[in-house]
Copies of this chain bind each other. A is one copy, B any other.
Amino acid sequence: MPARIIDGTKLAKRIKSDTSARVHALTAEGRRVRLAAIIVGEPAAAEIYTRSQRQRCQEVGIEYQLHSLPPHAKDDDVRSLIRELNQDSEVTGIILQLPLPPDLDTPALQYCIDPYKDVEGVNPSNIGLLFYDNAIIAPCTALAVMEILKEASVEPRGLNAVVVGQGAIAGRPISLFLSQKMATVTSCHIATKDLYSHTRQADLLVVAVGKPGLIRGEHVKPGAIVIDVGINSILRPDGSKTIVGDVDFTSTNEAASIITPVPGGVGPVTVAILLRSAVEAAAKQTATPRRLAV
């Protein structure tokens, strides 16, 4: 029997609609939700790269401003800009577009972002607070996976969860989140021996590697929940491009009980979660005295 397919596009639409309502409620109170994006690179490329981000913000009523720094920008240039945006009370959220040029110190710059404006949840402080079960804002992809599990009525507690891929943006925060939700989490990666002996024991399998076809039906426990975080652009035989995940959908669909497709699964939900985090950040900043202060 084929698996239940979670429709990420539909879920994303609902999140966006809720977000839009919250933005309008805030602006009706005279408060604003404004996202500032910092990108280091050629200005023309930056404009193209962030065009859809701007558009999505505008769709839900979030103001968007792009700060483009030249490719040769130094740590201090980025730091100065972040400080300025931290101080600017009109700016309620800050995104530092990754990857930064390799000579910039990414974690040190992420550390500069006001934790209350860090809508992507990448400031080491926000990661650490997540570690302490005290998150202000968490990384978007991990939140998207948790949202999908909620949508599918999956309770992580007590499940054997296997997370394949331990990157800082997706896999590692997902492992942390699932462990806090009391799943028994096995974190696999490039050095894992006999990967499939692990994946075959997973009640819940999350794959975030970036390798098309890494997981096939025979690698999955019958009845498992399979969440595909991979987004890979591949060439079709006719030379056109298409997007696939890390999971071979056709074979896995037959083995799993619940599955997310690519495209139309985790991707659009992650995009919607960023918008939701932006409005939550705005609400938290203005609503209460700050818990965190150095």
Contact = CB atoms under 8 A, between A and B. Distances in A.
A110 B184 CA distance: 28
The size bracket of the interface on A is: 35 or more
Interface on chain A toward B: helix, strand, loop, or mixed SS?
mixed
A233 to B, nearest CB: 27
Interface stretch (A118-126, A219-227, A254-262): A118-126
A109 to B, nearest CB: 10
A254 to B, nearest CB: 26
B158 A193 contact: yes
Given A111-B294, A160-B193, 15 more contacts: A79-B293, A106-B132, A107-B132, A111-B129, A112-B293, A124-B127, A127-B127, A131-B168, A175-B187, A179-B189, A182-B190, A184-B187, A184-B193, A185-B187, A186-B187
Interface of A: 79, 86, 105-108, 111-112, 123-129, 131-134, 157-158, 160, 166, 168, 172, 175-176, 179, 182-193, 198, 291-294
